[in-house]
Structure 1
Amino acid sequence: MNGSTAPKQTAGRSFYGWFGRKFAQYILVLLIALSINFALPRLAPGDPLIYFMGQEINTLTPEQRQRINRELGLDQSVWEQYGSFMMGAVTMQLGSSTKFGKPVTQVLAERMPWTFLLVLPAIIISPIIGVICGAFAAWNRGKRRDLVLLTSMLAVESMPGFWVGMLLIAIFAVNLGWLPSYGAVPLVKADTVTYIIEIVRRMILPVATITISTVGTYFLLTRSSMLDTLGQDYILMAEAKGVSKRRVIYRHALRNALLPVYTHITMSLGILVSGAVVVETVFSYPGIGRLLFESVTARDFPMMQGVFLMITVGVIAANLLADLTYPLVDPRARFRKTLEGSA
């Protein structure tokens, strides 16, 4: 009894030790990223008020300048500002937006659902298409089908996202008139069913743009990984035993070839909070990416820092998720972690 439970306890301690070290590393990365986020606006030359108010700064009286500095916390020392910034990042008290006149967290909460609604379908559709086409091309390596798919995907991969979006707008919104080209909701009030339909119609072109812009990466990753896997001895043994082509591809080769693809998919989850800046700007879609563009053009530094904070946290969370779930996909990683913990 004691002999059977001892390995489990050792493995548990090893996992918790590994997780603790990883968590500490990501906390350190987050602190460094937040420090850079704090320092960049303050390292810019010139009066900070110029970045907040532009040329209107010349019309302010000294009393007004002093009051604005006090409201923005610019009358404090750098270390006091750093402490306030870090405390605000922990408590999610990120100040008020100078462009929208609302708390930063409120604006982020309003924009975040639209980004999830736009990016999440693309993250699901793009890997499915890329993996299926990549596995098919690898199995038919060197043949005409492989060359056609490879050439097509390389061409798609080389297209800039904004160009793809403008091309889709020109075809489906301008020439054919099938779909709207901007916004997320209809301008005219409608009943609930019509409202939902219009939201979906306005999602189609942006989602298609993100999917087209990212599917090539998944295709190339899958094809390259599949080519390495198809040369393994167990694949040759399965073919020699007369296993069907479909079973060899999807039950033997693809399961092992998906490991680097899974890592890339997990990392891509970080864009859920950053949004697709280019795509959302092209389609005037009210997500986080569009918000970042508007904040930069308006020099809204509190909002910019809030968006950068969310991007940083999202990327770190995606990396942590990849570290935690990768052993479930690849048991060899689980074994390595156990050995590292034991060491």
Structure 2
Amino acid sequence: MNPKYTAFGKKLLQYGLVLFVAITINFLLPRLAPGDPLLYFFDEGTLKELTAAQKQMALDSMGLGGSLFEQYFIYLKGIVSFDFGVSIKYGLPAIDVILERLPWTLVLIGPAMLLSAVIGVAVGAYSAWNRGKSRDVSLLTVMLTFQAVPGFWVGMLFIAIFAVQFGWFPTYGAVSIVQDGTTIGWLKDVALHLVLPIATLSIATVGSNYLLTRSSMLESLGQDYVVMAEAKGVTKPRLIFNHGLRNALLPVYTHFMMNLGTLIGGSVVVETVFSYPGIGRLLYESVVARDFPMMQAVFLMITIGVIGANILADLTYPMIDPRAKSTRRVKGES
């Protein structure tokens, strides 16, 4: 058998095991939460008046009827058939609500991730090249500040200044209630609603990209081949981009791919601050309402996103670093 396919099969088996464990934890976590779930839908007086049959009917509608093993079996059966149950809060199939909210989150985190990565890599490389100088110290101070400041505080500050004080951008939501009815007007309205959330999410994540690029770039610039190229009179831009940054981008790329899966759920704070109708806001609302079907569906989607990003990183990493392909070939031959 081809060693390449054997290694890929082992990798898929590992990811399958991780997915199974994550699915099990996803099933158990909502059920381990304290409190009676029925109290989130009935007050204590009404709950006391309900008969045992009515209580059981309410639990069955939430997927909490029967023993824990029976619930787990129904849960696994629903995953296989893409039936995640009916949302208690919205009264709609959970998958339908998620598919309605998912595009808004993708529109938010896509530009934010790209902007954060480009700025972080560019500024990190520039800072590393000017290591020890005042501009490096200044940039490092600014980026450490961005890294330390909570995202919700940045979002509230942006709302207070740019939305309330100057009135340049909307304060909440993804679209305005009143529009001009044209496609261009709708797109412009959506773009205006995205500016502040994207800026907040970018600032919250740019610090890690900068620090990782700067650290990796400093290590790369200290290598012998870079010193030799500088001694030969290679121009500064070519030395930075062709010799230093090319190798320094490898850990940054890995970090970017990991964030690709986690940011779908990691945008909870930003979407909550701006009342943005994405997956993060949906997760927050589901937890508050103890909407078990919705919580399980969102957690599962985030888990699949993280595992999918890992698989994509494994498949594309040899394209970024040819040495990884050579290492795999040598291991297969041995």
Band of TM-score, shorter chain: over 0.9
CA distance in 2, matches of 1:54, 1:282: 29
Q: Partner letter of residue 232 of structure 1?
A: Q
Aligned to 1:17: 6
- SS of 1:76's equivalent? coil
- SS of 1:270's equivalent? helix
Counterparts in 2 of 1:58 and 1:139: CA distance versus 1, 3 Å = same
CA distance in 1, matches of 2:144, 2:68: 49
Aligned to 2:66: 76
Write out aligned runs for 1:1-343 (5 A): 13-45=2-34, 47-50=36-39, 53=42, 55=44, 56-190=46-180, 191-343=182-334
| Residue deviations 1:123-143 (CA, integer Å, cap 9, x gap) | 111110010101011111111
CA contact (8 A) 2:226 2:244 kept: yes
Counterparts in 2 of 1:46 and 1:160: CA distance versus 1, 3 Å = closer
CA distance in 1, matches of 2:229, 2:251: 23
Counterparts in 2 of 1:254 and 1:98: CA distance versus 1, 3 Å = same
Name stretches of at least 5 consecutive residues in structure 1 with no aligned partner: 1-9
Name stretches of at least 5 consecutive residues in structure 2 with no aligned partner: none
Greater CA drift, 13-22 or 46-55 = 46-55
Q: Partner letter of residue 143 of structure 1?
A: K
CA RMSD of aligned residues (A): 1.6
Equivalent pairs counted in the alignment come to 332
Q: Partner letter of residue 97 of structure 1?
A: S
The alpha carbon displacement at 1:293 in A equals 0.6
- SS of 2:167's equivalent? coil
CA contact (8 A) 2:30 2:295 kept: no
Greater CA drift, 34-43 or 285-294 = 34-43
- SS of 1:293's equivalent? helix
- SS of 2:90's equivalent? coil
Q: Partner letter of residue 260 of structure 1?
A: P
TM score, norm. by length of structure 1: 0.92
The alpha carbon displacement at 1:342 in A equals 3.9
CA contact (8 A) 1:271 1:314 kept: yes
CA contact (8 A) 1:259 1:330 kept: yes
Q: Partner letter of residue 31 of structure 2?
A: R
TM score, norm. by length of structure 2: 0.95
Counterparts in 2 of 1:45 and 1:285: CA distance versus 1, 3 Å = closer
